[in-house]
Amino acid sequence: MDYAPDDDMKRSVFPLPPAAFTGESRVNPPDAALDWLVRGWALFAQDKLRWCLLSLFFSAFIIIPLLLYPGIFRLFLLLMPFFAAGWHEVCRMEEMREETNDRPLPGDFFTSFTAPALIVPGILGVGALWLVWEGFLAMLYMVVSPSSDAALFWLMYILYGAFSLPILILPFVMLLLFAPPLLYPPRLSPGRALQASFTACRKNLAPLFFLALLLSLLVFATILSFGLLLPVTLPVAFASWRAACHDIFIAL
C-alpha cells in the first residue's frame, strides 16, 4: 500500500514527549500569599473530617515520640523532608481526586520514604541547627556563663534569638523550603533541587514572607487553643505551601 514519504516521520515525532522538568520558577505578586492561603483552606474544606483524621494520625506519629524522648527532635529534623514530600503528595492527590478517583490514605504520608535523595536536605537541616543554634550556645557558654553573669547571658540569648537567628537561618530555609517536592517524585538531583529552591525563594521573597506571616497567625491561634486547632492548622498550612509550589514552579 502506498503512503506519503513523511508518514514514518509523523509516527516518530507525534505525540511529542513531555518536556523534562528543569526546576524553572516564576515570580508571583505579593498578594499571591492570600490566594495560596485561600486555596489551602478550600482544599481542607472539601473534606474537613478526612483532613482532620489525617492530621491527627500524622501528629500522633510525631508528637508522641517527642514527648517520650525530647532528644529525638534531631531525628525529626532529619526526616522532615520526607514528611514534607509526603504531605505535598497527599495534597496533590486530593487536588486531582475528581480526575483520578484516588483518595489519599494515611500510608501515603510515607510514600516519600522511597526517595533516598531526601536524606540530603535532612542532613543539611540538622547541620544548620547545630551550626546556627547549638554552635552559638557553645560559644556563648565559653564567653559568659549563666552562673557568673546571668543578666548578660540572657540578654545575649534573647538578642540572638530575636534578631540574629532569623537572618542566619534564612539561607537554609530558602535552600530547603521547596526541595522535598522537587526530589519526590524524582525530578531533580539533590544539588539541583536545593539550587532551584533557593532561586525560587529569592524570586518570591515578598509573597513567601506574607504567607509566613499569615501562617504564623494560624500557629498563634493554635497555641492559644492549647493545640485543639492543630488538625486544622496543619493541613491548611501544607495545602497553602502546596499551592505556592504549584504557582511558583512550572509543571509541578
pTM above 0.85?
Answer: no
77 and 102 Cβ atoms separated by less than 8 Å: no
Whole-angstrom distance, CA of residue 234 vs CA of residue 123: 24
- Which residues, other chains included, contact 163 with Cβ-Cβ below 8 Å and sequence gap of 6+? none
DSSP codes, 139-176: HHHHH--TTT-HHHHHHHHHHIIIIIHHHHHHHHHHHH
6 and 206 Cβ atoms separated by less than 8 Å: no
Provide the pLDDT confidence category of residue 207 given band limits of 50, 70 and 90: very high
CA 100 to chain centre: 25
Domain boundaries, the chain: 28-248
The 10 Å Cβ neighbour count of residue 80 is 18
Q: What pLDDT, in 10s, does the model give residues 152-199? A: 777 777 777 777 777 888 899 999 999 999 999 888 999 999 999 999
